[in-house]
Structure 1
Amino acid sequence: MTIRVKLLLSYIGMILIPMIIFFPLSYLLSGFFLGDFQEGSESRQGTPQELGQDIKKLMEQRDELFAGLQFMARYEPERLTDRGFLEKADAEFKQLQSGFVVLKEDSVIYVSSFLEGVDWAAELQSGSKQRDKMNFHGREMDGHLAVNTYEFPFQDHRPGTIYLFTDTKSLFQTFKKVIPAFFLTFLIVIGLTNALLTYLISRSIIKPLYALKRATEHIKEGNLDYEVGLKRKDEIGELSAAFEEMRCRLKESIHLQLQYEENRKELISNISHDLKTPITGIKGCVEGVLDGIADTQEKQEKYMRMIYKKATEMDRLIDELFLFSKLDLKRLPFHFEQIDLVAYLTDFVEELRHDPRKQGISFYFSPGVNPSVYVLADREKLSRVMTNIVNNSVNYMQGESKEIRLGLRDSEKQVTVVIEDNGVGITSEALPHIFERFYRAEPSRQSKNGGSGLGLAIVKQIVEEHGGQVWAESKQGEGTRIFFTLPKTNGASGERI
């Protein structure tokens, strides 16, 4: 679940959960606070709106009863002197927290039992002037009784008055308690709901953020092995996955950088040694000439040939180092063109056969069933690949019978070149590393076979720049086979297949 969905659900929950919790609480609160007000009747429970409707209904019932008294006073006033009728009406008013007093002139005919305990008769019998001063209509008497009056004439034309008293104390005190209690309860429910949802949502966000923070601190201290390990399907999970990928790449980059640094140190050491050897030979030859040791034409020519040989060796080392550096930095341009690989390898093998440095080695080429196979390649770089592989094979061949065989394996989209020798072979431990930079299968620097360790690494980089792959198979004492692939092209258009 995404954080956006979680936040949306929390917003919905902050609205629905308080409402769901508040309704049961409102019933409990109404039953607790309205016990006094609803005396003599069944306790009602509900929301403030429902309570207001109940109270309004009670007021309407009271008004209906009072209207009935007014009707009797208007059309049958003598019924208001009937105590049985008045007691029956009084019982109905009492259920509505109300009572009434009936006066005939200054005489009290009836006082409701609801008004017991208050000396209303004394005040009401004090005379009309006194009653006018009390101004009963529209005010509260004794601080909690609201009064309504109705004046009418009896049949003997004597004035009569009905006073209706309603207990407002219970009503208003109940509302004074209920409304704040409802409001406070609602605020508490909202506050607790928001606090709980906020805690849960923030915990689901803050906890993984702290985990990421700890991971960054470990990385800052150089510990790139510390894993975050957050398996989540949300934005933080995506962030964690990206962070973990960054950590792995950074670890790999630093490891590779350290390896590069180690390789550079090894390169400097190896190249320094390889350069020092021919330089030392050149210095020895020059000193021999200067010291007069080469006192004949024949000796001078011998020393010159030695100087030339050592200089050529230095030039080869420097060229190889320069080429590898440009390949490593991706700064060596490639000029691809369509090449008939069968014809190209046929010419290459022919050149090897006439190379005086390859005397005593037999070269063979098996083109396969197809007379022409077209690839897109850089002639110069492909020649460097072939030369480095062949030279590597020549350097590790022993015995009288020395053979190097070249072959082609044609497939639908690529062609595989195979170069096989019958040399000493490569150990199984060394075989996976022969294409690595600066790797030497022969650890001794004094060996005549020792080189810079860049020959096959250069082969690998050039082949990969062509879009191919390179690998080797070898058995000790039987020889080595090196394979590399090149993408085929359409012979007509020159486009890659």
Structure 2
Amino acid sequence: MKFKTRLLITFLTIILLPIILALTAFLIIGGYLSKGQEDLGLRVNNYNVWIDPAETSRHLSDEIFVEIREGLKQDPHLLEKTDILDAINDDIADKSSYLIVRKGNELYYTGNQLASAQIFDKLPEFNEEDIDSETAQSIYYDDMNKLVRQMDFYFTDGSEGSLFVIMKANSTMSRKLFIDMAVAITLILVLTSLFLTRWISRSVFEPINELNVAMQNIAEGNLEYILPHKDDGEIGDLYRNYEDMRLRLKESADEKILTEKQNKELVSNISHDLKTPITAIKGYVEGIMDGVADTPEKVNKYIKTIYNKACDMDRLINELTVYSGIDSNRIPYHFHRINVAEYFGDCVEEVGLDLESKNIELNYSNLVAPDTLIIADPEQMKRVINNIIGNSIKYMGSRKGEIDIRILDEVDSIRVEIEDNGKGIPSKDLPNIFERFFRSDISRNSAQGGSGIGLSIVKKIIEDHGGYIWATSKEGEGTCMHFVLRKYQEAKE
């Protein structure tokens, strides 16, 4: 439920509930107080008497007097018939009223014997001028707490007669009603306040306290604390936002842990990879120093080996530099228009010398037009080729190695394929080889080691050139790396 709806319900409850309960209390208290009048023979079923007794008396007696005057025109003996008077008295008894008929100075009829005995001697005298009057004035007896309406007439024997309508107007009862109603309204307001406070507490404050506890858990690093599900309103939105935040923080924390683990693994891998060439360099340098290399040919061989190992170390350090650039998205690029045939021809020639020294056969074919151009960074693209070929060499196996490089025309793009006849990659590992720090089972069991970031660097560079890369492989037969780059096309005027 939204806060606006809660506020509207609260507003209506504050207004309507006390009114309804106050009216109910008025009816109950009024009914209870009315029972106290039964000892005088009065029945009070009309609660207007407690609100405005004088007005009620005038209205009631006006109706009676109009009815009686109409009846007297048809029957002059109407007020002398006790059965008629009984019927009228019964009609007004429920309104805390009764009739008195006086003949001369004697009581001729009364609808309430006990009550009329208290007021009869204080009734106004007969007034001949009021006989033809259409209105009758109310007379209030302060000491008796009664309202009196009088209509004078003559009996058929010529005696003076007066009809009185008496209504109880007990001020003590009104004060008691006021006090009881004040107490009732106070209780109603207190109960309404308690009800609203409890409702607001359960629907607003308790959820906020739960959210506060959840945020404290987040501050203490507990990202497993889950809030109960809420479907409605702003509170539900807060709960869902908290859950989204918790899941993102948990994902971030898990990623941080994974990154730390990968960094440790990287340091371990790099340390292992650096230790191998350093050990070799130290060994060959000691051989030269100790005179083991006693011929110029041996010295030259040792120096070349030291140079190659230093190059391996340089390659590892460069990988670390590029890896740092990937994390901060700061790989430096210097794009140029490059002729595909010339560029890849130079690369193959440079790589070929190294492969020849390792007894690996290199095959190269270029099927694109001689004037085909691409936009690329020559240094970074060379890194791609070297990383892929370096991987092929590392996992070539003991048999005679063979690497094929093919440049294919794809209409608007070129596709480069670098295929080897090495150990291949297991099918279950193939989708993950471009992820950082991933090493397949073959690489894990290989004595060559590896940092696990070479192919992730390749993928990043190719994607930054607007291309894409993938691999196909058969275990025991070899692996082929494919990457596609867009051709450069002159803008048409």
TM-score, normalized by the shorter chain, greater than 0.5 = yes
Equivalent-residue separation in structure 2 for 1:476 and 1:259 (angstroms): 29
Equivalent-residue separation in structure 2 for 1:420 and 1:298 (angstroms): 36
C-alpha contact 1:423 1:477 (8 A) present in aligned 2: yes
| Shift in Å, 1:215 | 4.5
1:392 alignment partner in structure 2: 391
Matched, 1:320 2:319: yes
| Shift in Å, 1:84 | 1.7
1:403 alignment partner in structure 2: 403
C-alpha contact 1:338 1:489 (8 A) present in aligned 2: no
Equivalent-residue separation in structure 2 for 1:123 and 1:53 (angstroms): 26
Task: For residue 477 of structure 1, give the secondary structure of its aligned residue in structure 2.
Answer: coil
Equivalent-residue separation in structure 1 for 2:371 and 2:438 (angstroms): 36
1:269 alignment partner in structure 2: 268
RMSD over aligned Cα atoms = 5.3
Post-superposition Cα deviations, 1:364-386, rounded to whole Å, max 9, x if no partner, equal 34647x88776554332222112
1:42-53 paired onto structure 2 within 5 Å: 44=45
Q: 1:357 to 1:4 in 2, by over 3 A?
A: farther
Post-superposition Cα deviations, 1:285-323, rounded to whole Å, max 9, x if no partner, equal 444444455565555444433433332222222222222
Residue type at the aligned position of 1:491: Q
Task: For residue 329 of structure 2, give the secondary structure of its aligned residue in structure 1.
Answer: coil
Unaligned runs of 5+ in 1: 72-78, 128-136
Equivalent-residue separation in structure 1 for 2:291 and 2:335 (angstroms): 54
2:131 alignment partner in structure 1: none
Q: 1:267 to 1:380 in 2, by over 3 A?
A: same
Task: Say which is worse superposed, 24-33 or 423-432, in terms of deviation.
Answer: 24-33
C-alpha contact 1:103 1:161 (8 A) present in aligned 2: yes
Q: When the two structures are aligned, how many residues end up with a matched partner? A: 470
Q: 1:50 to 1:408 in 2, by over 3 A?
A: farther
Matched, 1:420 2:419: yes
Equivalent-residue separation in structure 1 for 2:117 and 2:90 (angstroms): 18
| Shift in Å, 1:479 | 0.9
C-alpha contact 1:147 1:163 (8 A) present in aligned 2: no
C-alpha contact 2:100 2:107 (8 A) present in aligned 1: no
Q: 1:35 to 1:381 in 2, by over 3 A?
A: same
1:253 alignment partner in structure 2: 252
Matched, 1:184 2:184: yes
| Shift in Å, 1:389 | 0.9
2:145 alignment partner in structure 1: 144
2:239 alignment partner in structure 1: 240
Post-superposition Cα deviations, 1:57-83, rounded to whole Å, max 9, x if no partner, equal 553231465699999xxxxxxx99x97
Equivalent-residue separation in structure 2 for 1:186 and 1:263 (angstroms): 70
C-alpha contact 2:48 2:56 (8 A) present in aligned 1: no
Matched, 1:283 2:279: no
Equivalent-residue separation in structure 2 for 1:52 and 1:421 (angstroms): 108
1:492 alignment partner in structure 2: 490
C-alpha contact 1:31 1:44 (8 A) present in aligned 2: no
| Shift in Å, 1:477 | 1.4
- TM (norm. structure 2) is 0.71
Q: 1:249 to 1:465 in 2, by over 3 A?
A: farther
C-alpha contact 2:359 2:401 (8 A) present in aligned 1: no
C-alpha contact 1:425 1:474 (8 A) present in aligned 2: yes
1:224 alignment partner in structure 2: 223
| Shift in Å, 1:388 | 0.8
1:18-33 paired onto structure 2 within 5 Å: 18=17, 25=24, 29=28, 32-33=31-32
Equivalent-residue separation in structure 1 for 2:322 and 2:119 (angstroms): 126
Task: For residue 480 of structure 1, give the secondary structure of its aligned residue in structure 2.
Answer: strand
Q: 1:70 to 1:226 in 2, by over 3 A?
A: closer
Q: 1:279 to 1:400 in 2, by over 3 A?
A: closer
Matched, 1:364 2:360: no
Q: 1:358 to 1:21 in 2, by over 3 A?
A: farther
Matched, 1:436 2:435: yes
C-alpha contact 2:119 2:144 (8 A) present in aligned 1: no
Q: 1:456 to 1:62 in 2, by over 3 A?
A: same
Residue type at the aligned position of 1:427: P
Task: For residue 265 of structure 1, give the secondary structure of its aligned residue in structure 2.
Answer: helix
C-alpha contact 1:421 1:481 (8 A) present in aligned 2: yes
1:465 alignment partner in structure 2: 464
Q: 1:95 to 1:54 in 2, by over 3 A?
A: farther
Q: 1:388 to 1:401 in 2, by over 3 A?
A: closer
Q: 1:210 to 1:153 in 2, by over 3 A?
A: closer
Amino-acid identity (%): 36
C-alpha contact 2:79 2:85 (8 A) present in aligned 1: no
Task: For residue 444 of structure 2, give the secondary structure of its aligned residue in structure 1.
Answer: coil
Task: For residue 481 of structure 1, give the secondary structure of its aligned residue in structure 2.
Answer: strand
1:325-340 paired onto structure 2 within 5 Å: 325-337=324-336
Residue type at the aligned position of 2:276: T
Q: 1:242 to 1:374 in 2, by over 3 A?
A: farther
Task: Say which is worse superposed, 471-480 or 228-237, in terms of deviation.
Answer: 228-237
Task: For residue 427 of structure 2, give the secondary structure of its aligned residue in structure 1.
Answer: coil
Equivalent-residue separation in structure 1 for 2:345 and 2:232 (angstroms): 60
Task: Say which is worse superposed, 107-116 or 320-329, in terms of deviation.
Answer: 107-116
Q: 1:343 to 1:187 in 2, by over 3 A?
A: farther
Equivalent-residue separation in structure 2 for 1:124 and 1:444 (angstroms): 126
| Shift in Å, 1:415 | 6.2
Task: For residue 224 of structure 1, give the secondary structure of its aligned residue in structure 2.
Answer: coil
Task: For residue 3 of structure 2, give the secondary structure of its aligned residue in structure 1.
Answer: helix
C-alpha contact 2:416 2:483 (8 A) present in aligned 1: yes
| Shift in Å, 1:223 | 4.6
Equivalent-residue separation in structure 1 for 2:171 and 2:235 (angstroms): 56
Task: Say which is worse superposed, 243-252 or 316-325, in terms of deviation.
Answer: 243-252
1:84 alignment partner in structure 2: 80
Task: For residue 423 of structure 2, give the secondary structure of its aligned residue in structure 1.
Answer: coil
Residue type at the aligned position of 2:141: E
Residue type at the aligned position of 1:84: E
Task: For residue 474 of structure 1, give the secondary structure of its aligned residue in structure 2.
Answer: strand
Post-superposition Cα deviations, 1:138-190, rounded to whole Å, max 9, x if no partner, equal 55254322456799999xxx9x89695733345872685389449836963x7
1:474-493 paired onto structure 2 within 5 Å: 474-486=473-485, 488=486, 491-493=489-491
C-alpha contact 2:102 2:108 (8 A) present in aligned 1: yes
Equivalent-residue separation in structure 2 for 1:42 and 1:171 (angstroms): 17
| Shift in Å, 1:350 | 5.2
| Shift in Å, 1:425 | 0.7
Residue type at the aligned position of 2:242: F
Task: For residue 403 of structure 2, give the secondary structure of its aligned residue in structure 1.
Answer: strand
Residue type at the aligned position of 1:256: E
C-alpha contact 2:425 2:475 (8 A) present in aligned 1: yes
